Amino acid sequence: MKRISLHIIARRNRKTQLQGQTLSLNLSHPESANRPRVVIVGAGFGGMAAARALRGHAAEVTLIDQTNHHLFQPLLYQVATAALSPSDIATATRVLMRGGSNLSVLMAEVTGVDIRARSVLLRNGHRLPYDYLVLATGSASSFFGQDNWREHTLVLKTIEDALAIRARLLEAFERAEQSTDDVEIRRLLTFAIVGGGPTGVELAGTISELARATLARDFSRIDPRDTRVVLCEAGGRLLSGFDPALSTYAAEALTSMGVEVRIGTTVEAIDPTGVVLGSERIDTGAVLWCAGTEARPAAEWLGIDGVRNGAVTVRSDCSVPGHPNIFAIGDVASFETDGGKRLPALAPVAKQQGTYVGKLLAARIAGRREPVAFRYRDYGTMAVIGRSRAAAQFGRLRLTGFLAWLVWSLIHLMLLVDFRSRLVVYVNWAWAWFTYGRGARLLTGSTTSDARQPPLSDPESGRPDDK
């Protein structure tokens, strides 16, 4: 049985009130009390890989995350565009950790790290002691100092974000169907996407297909094919991490699908009903922000200065300088290669770093020789643009079109963590490919937009959406 030890200062009252502190949370088994304690913060690709690498070793491993599931983030945009349901790309963390007698899972929010006491601070007041700490907290959206834009945009990082985008897209068509104001209809059916990386490209292409193919015959008063999708990229080309030829292909493919591609165009302002791109204002039903990321506050927890995006600078073994028992991996780490380049914030980087750190800790605990410095193996980069259209590069090999899309589909199916997810996603993709249908287009009370999201109606117009 698990032992939870709580130290509480209580006061007598008519109803017992718990005050004071909960000083320690011990999740280890009695017979393994002397084993080293490894705490992993974050159940993403990096954290999950580290935990699995430590399965069965002589250490007590606790995996902490704010949610109770592991999310396959590369397919999150398909939940946002009604192609897949959340359960198709997410699996309960406890299910994935089954079979590891030395593994524990804790759903909790981390608020800090006490380095001197070697403990992780939790929102509920508990402290979780550690001998080794692995920070795999991932990243959040960055607005480059314009935090006031956050309340007027939709981001894509979590399942909740994806459901909010899905609700906004589907509601826009439903409200446009009720409206008799042509100006309002045009605004509702205009979607601006900021950021020309893989996520922005994938969202732009899929939203265009959703409107022009899936929804084309579903409405009687509006024509969804009139939907306007604007993709804005401040840099010189889309998919800047890809070969320039693939960037050109992506831009041409999106344009042929009806997407307006704006290259070298910066965002000047965002408000509740639109966005200013350069000198042009575009009234929109939604602004989707895919432009930048920043590391979660791990550097702040450790009391050190992070790099420009807040990531923690790490050594060649992914440890934090001056703290050989603390490691940072994935998006929260700033890892510089021998060539002076910093590794990108990609799932394969996090996964490889997690496996490496797990093996390093297993060797250190067992008194074996530790692995050499971490080296990232780049197996390729891919981005899907639309139905039968994708861009992929594997070393010197470049693929586009149907072949790239097929390779992308097969690889992503294999990377899904369980057989059920692979089967369901395969069936959904096959159905969508042959019929242009999408099986997750329901609007329910739990998915419709709420007051926290940018309004669909114009707050200055003084009129309801159906006027």
Q: Could you give the angle at which helices 244-256 and 198-209 cross, rounded to 10 degrees? A: 20
Tokens of 132: 């080794």
| Dihedral sign from CA coordinates of 273, 276, 281, 287 | negative
Bridge partners, 39 (sequence order): 62, 133
Whether the Cβ atoms of residue 365 and residue 59 lie closer than 8 Å to each other: yes
Q: Are 140 and 38 in contact (CB under 8 A)?
A: no
Beta carbons within 8 Å of 178's beta carbon, 6+ residues apart: 465, 466
Strand partners, 327: 134, 319
Active site residues: 202
Compute the distance between CA of residue 433 and CA of residue 328 in angstroms, rounded to an integer: 40
Q: From the CB of residue 372, how many other CB atoms can be counted at a distance below 10 Å?
A: 10
Q: Crossing angle of helices 45-53/347-366, nearest 10°? A: 30
β-sheet bridge partners, residue 333: 312
Rounded-to-integer distance, Cα 115 and Cα 92, Å: 30
Cα 334-115-328 angle, rounded to 5 deg: 20
Q: Are the CB atoms for 199 and 77 separated by under 8 Å? A: yes
- For 86, 145, 269, 457, the CA distances from 148, given in Å and listed in that order, are 29, 9, 10, 20
As given in the structure block, the two tokens for residue 133 are 């700490």
